[in-house]
C-alpha cells in the first residue's frame, strides 16, 4: 500500500491539469510541464484533486502507484514555485564563468571544463556560488549532479563542488614527527 498514492494530489487555484489518454499536462503561473504515465495505475481528475488507483494487485502496480503520485506532486508544485539548488565551489583558483547558455569551469585541470545548461534550467553565478532554478525537479537534480561530478569535494581540504547543504567529512592529514 502506497501512503503517497492513497493521499492523492490537491490541485491549487491557478493551476490546471489536463489529461489526454495517459499524457498529463500541468499548467501554472511559472510554466507548463507534460509527462506520460503509462502502466498499471489509473489516474483520475476529480474536481481539484487527482486520485490514483492501481489497476491490479501486481508488484509493478504497487511500485508505480506512489511513484506516479510523487511525479505529479512535483509537477504541480514546480509550476507554482520553482525548485532551487545551490552549488558552492571551494578551492584556490576554482571558479565558474557563465558564457551564454554555457558554464565554463576552472577546476585545477590543465583545461577549462565547459557544460551546456539545459533549456529548462536557469543558472545564476555569484562569486563561488551557482544557483540553479527550474520548474522541472528531475532535470534540475540531474544537471546539479552532473556539475558536482566534475570535481567532487575531497576530504582533506574540502576542495571541489558541493551542494550548499552538504557536509563534507574532513580527514586528518599526515602528522609531522
Per-residue pLDDT of the chain (177 residues; tens, 9 = 90+): 678 888 888 999 999 999 999 999 999 999 999 999 998 899 999 989 999 999 998 888 888 999 999 999 999 999 999 999 999 999 999 999 999 999 999 999 999 999 999 999 999 999 999 999 999 999 999 999 999 999 999 999 999 999 999 999 999 888 876
Q: Let me know whether 91 and 64 are in one domain.
A: no
pLDDT (0 to 100) of residue 62: 87
- Using DSSP's 3-state secondary structure scheme, residue 135 falls into coil
Q: Let me know whether 65 and 40 are in one domain.
A: yes
pLDDT (0 to 100) of residue 50: 92
Residue 172 lies in a domain: no
Q: Let me know whether 59 and 124 are in one domain.
A: no
Closest CA to 43 of 4, 2, 1, 8: 8
pLDDT (0 to 100) of residue 177: 65
What is the DSSP secondary-structure string of 67-101?
HHHHHHHHHHHHHHS-EEEEEEEESTT-EEEEETT
Q: How far apart are CA 16 and CA 27, in angstroms?
A: 5
What grid cell was written down for 24?
A: 498529463
Q: Final residue of a domain: which of 44, 63, 80?
A: 80
Q: Let me know whether 58 and 112 are in one domain.
A: no
Q: Let me know whether 63 and 108 are in one domain.
A: no
Closest CA to 122 of 104, 138, 101: 101
Question: Which stretches does DSSP call E strand in the chain?
Answer: 9-10, 16-20, 23-28, 31-36, 41-46, 49-54, 83-90, 95-99, 102-106, 113-116, 121-126, 129-134, 160-163
Q: Find the domain containing 32 and state its range.
A: 3-80
Q: Final residue of a domain: which of 64, 80, 96?
A: 80
Q: How far apart are CA 115 and CA 105, in angstroms?
A: 8
Residue 147 lies in a domain: yes
Q: Let me know whether 73 and 134 are in one domain.
A: no
Residue 169 lies in a domain: no
Residue 115 lies in a domain: yes
Q: Let me know whether 75 and 142 are in one domain.
A: no
pLDDT (0 to 100) of residue 19: 92
Q: Final residue of a domain: which of 14, 45, 80?
A: 80
pLDDT (0 to 100) of residue 1: 62
Q: Let me know whether 106 and 87 are in one domain.
A: yes
- Using DSSP's 3-state secondary structure scheme, residue 134 falls into strand
CATH number of the domain to which 101 belongs: 3.90.930.12
Q: How many domains does the chain have?
A: 2
Q: Kindly state the helix (H) or strand (E) to which residue 166 belongs, with its residue range.
A: none
- Using DSSP's 3-state secondary structure scheme, residue 159 falls into coil
Contact at 8 Å (CB) between 37 and 65? no
Q: Let me know whether 93 and 120 are in one domain.
A: yes
Amino acid at each position: 500500500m502506497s501512503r503517497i498514492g492513497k493521499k492523492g494530489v490537491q490541485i491549487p487555484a491557478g493551476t490546471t491539469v489536463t489529461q489526454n489518454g495517459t499524457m498529463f499536462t500541468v499548467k501554472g503561473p511559472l510554466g507548463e510541464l507534460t509527462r506520460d504515465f503509462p502502466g498499471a495505475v489509473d489516474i483520475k481528475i476529480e474536481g481539484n484533486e487527482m486520485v490514483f488507483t492501481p489497476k491490479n494487485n501486481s508488484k509493478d502496480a504497487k511500485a508505480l502507484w506512489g511513484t506516479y503520485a510523487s511525479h505529479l506532486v512535483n509537477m504541480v508544485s514546480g509550476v507554482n514555485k520553482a525548485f532551487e539548488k545551490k552549488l558552492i565551489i571551494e578551492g584556490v583558483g576554482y571558479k565558474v564563468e557563465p558564457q551564454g547558455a554555457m558554464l565554463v569551469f576552472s577546476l585545477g585541470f590543465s583545461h577549462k571544463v565547459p557544460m551546456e545548461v539545459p533549456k529548462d534550467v536557469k543558472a545564476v553565478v555569484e562569486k563561488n556560488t551557482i544557483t540553479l532554478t527550474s520548474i522541472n525537479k528531475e532535470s534540475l537534480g540531474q544537471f546539479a549532479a552532473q556539475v558536482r561530478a566534475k570535481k567532487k569535494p575531497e576530504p582533506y581540504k574540502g576542495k571541489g563542488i558541493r551542494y550548499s547543504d552538504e557536509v563534507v567529512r574532513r580527514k586528518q592529514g599526515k602528522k609531522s614527527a
